[in-house]
Amino acid sequence: MKTALPKVMHSVGNMPLIEHIINLSRQISTDIRVVASETLKEHAEFMLLENKYNFASYIQEEQLGTAHALQCAELENIGSEYILVLYGDTPLVTYQTLNQMIERAKNSNATITAFGFYAQNPTGYGRFITDHEQNLLDIIEEKDAAPEVKRIDLCNSGIMLIKTSEAIRLIKEIKNNNASGEYYLTDLIRIANDNAYSCSYILGDEEEALGVNDLAQLARLEEIFQNRMRRKMMSEGVILIAPHTVHFSADTIIVGGSKIYPYVFFGAGVVIEKDTEIFSFSHIEQSKIGANCKIGPFARLRPNNVLSGDNKIGNFVELKNARLAEGAKASHLSYIGDAEVGKNCNIGAGTIFCNYDGKNKHFSKVGNDVFIGSNSAIISPVNIGDNALIGAGSTITQDVEPNDLAIARARQVNLKGRGRKRG
């Protein structure tokens, strides 16, 4: 990848590649085992994933091949009937495909069931050797393939479902007498057939098998993922004016009836309720937005915002750790940070919540039906009571009682004849 970040910690849809696979695995089993290099195991973001999902991880100290990696996962104490082998850099495989593999294995009583696909360009992939009854006889890696095998376009994704009891015994028979000098998991197919065990396969989409070996491939996966999300959103009733211009995260949730205008970016942790409109050039992350809101254009919602509904966040408004009750609005050119704003409040243009004193962040609370005049500075921490009115251009440093008018600005003085003189 030519970056300092371990490959599987690069992101698609603002989620690490390996987290896609962990989330997928959790739909199938609670016994998730990740085989990692020592560098990955010690990476801070990987350790966060370990704590978040509570999976078991094992170090493969020497990179001796896929079969060796599987052996590192302590197969002897697996209690389930099958072992499902997935790869941390193939985030596009779907639950439907894996479930199809499971059903095929049960119906055929196959010892090993593999996921294969027809490739437009099979170069680089291992090839399936099959018969006419959908039995899988062998998988031959490209490096070891004869010219006639290389002409086969039925290719190996690497994903396998293996009966646990047979896997533990058969994997010990794998040798490393191949072009790479590695222990190939694919050799398990030939060994199983030699021991009179049946092997089968399912056919899937090539896109699901795509992995990552460089940044160009990562960008290609991002493109495929975004197109999937766009189709998913529209199928659920989300209106996308220009779908190809909207960027989603893997966990973006938008309820049908909402409308997304061109050039909107959704970072991680965004939930949007029904009938909300997100206007162009808005950037939203880690925010919960209620129903019937209007956001943007050119709005930025940084982490930890909650908008209760019927809110308006207009152009060049920025929110961070803000909670807005129903009907509250900031129509333009304002910053609301570390604050709670009550119902039906109006935050005037140019208002700034000054939440940072150079050392610590401070929180302010605004009551219901408050009007804050344009170009005001709210110096946190302060409380502004219900029905209060803040005069335009005020700098508020003290609490404002309910129903009060607060004005905190220098008195205007007009000096006669002191204007610009001409001629």
User: What digits encode the pLDDT tens for the residues 4-36?
Assistant: 999 999 999 999 999 999 999 999 999 999 999
**Structure token digits, residue 398:** 């003290």
Considering only residues 159 and 423, tell me which one the structure prediction assigns the higher pLDDT. Answer: 159
312 beta partners: 294, 329
pLDDT at residue number 423: 59
**Structure token digits, residue 65:** 């091949």
Q: Which helix (H) or strand (E) holds 354?
A: strand 352-354
* Torsion, CA 273, CA 274, CA 277, CA 278, rounded to 10: 30
Short-list 7, 33, 13, 12, CA closest to 22 = 33
Q: Which whole-number Å values give the CA distances from 123 to 143, 149, 166, 189, 202, in the listed order?
A: 10, 11, 31, 21, 20
Give the span between the Cα atoms of 71 and 89, in whole angstroms.
19
pLDDT at residue number 420: 80
**Structure token digits, residue 312:** 């308006």
Q: State the first-to-last Cα distance of the chain, in angstroms, to the nearest integer.
A: 70
The amino acid present at 215, given as its one-letter code, is: L
Cite the annotated binding site by residue number: 7, 60, 65-66, 87-89, 126, 141, 156, 213, 302, 320, 335, 346, 349, 355-356, 374, 392, 409
Query: What's the whole-number mean pLDDT along residues 159-185?
Result: 93
User: What digits encode the pLDDT tens for the residues 61-86?
Assistant: 999 999 999 999 999 999 999 999 99
User: What digits encode the pLDDT tens for the residues 215-248?
Assistant: 999 999 999 999 999 999 999 999 999 999 999 9
Residue 199 backbone zone (phi > 0: left; psi -120 to 50: alpha; other: beta) = beta
Q: What angle do CA 51, 57, 63 make, to 5 degrees?
A: 140
- Say which of 10, 244, 332, 362 is annotated catalytic: 332
Distance between alpha carbon 261 and the CA centroid of its chain, in Å? 21
Cite the annotated binding site for acetyl-CoA by residue number: 349, 355-356, 374, 392, 409
pLDDT at residue number 421: 75
Tokens 């609005």 belong to 329
User: Is 332 a residue of the active site?
Assistant: yes
Q: Where residue 419 falls among pLDDT bands split at 50, 70, 90?
A: confident
Distance between alpha carbon 197 and the CA centroid of its chain, in Å? 40
Domains present along the chain, CATH in parentheses? 7-209 (3.90.550.10), 215-406 (2.160.10.10)
Q: Which helix (H) or strand (E) holds 384?
A: strand 383-384
**CB distance 241 to 258 below 8 Å:** no
Q: How many CB atoms lie within 10 A of CB 414?
A: 6
**CB distance 213 to 221 below 8 Å:** no
Tokens 């937005």 belong to 289
% of the chain with per-residue pLDDT over 70: 100
pLDDT at residue number 134: 87
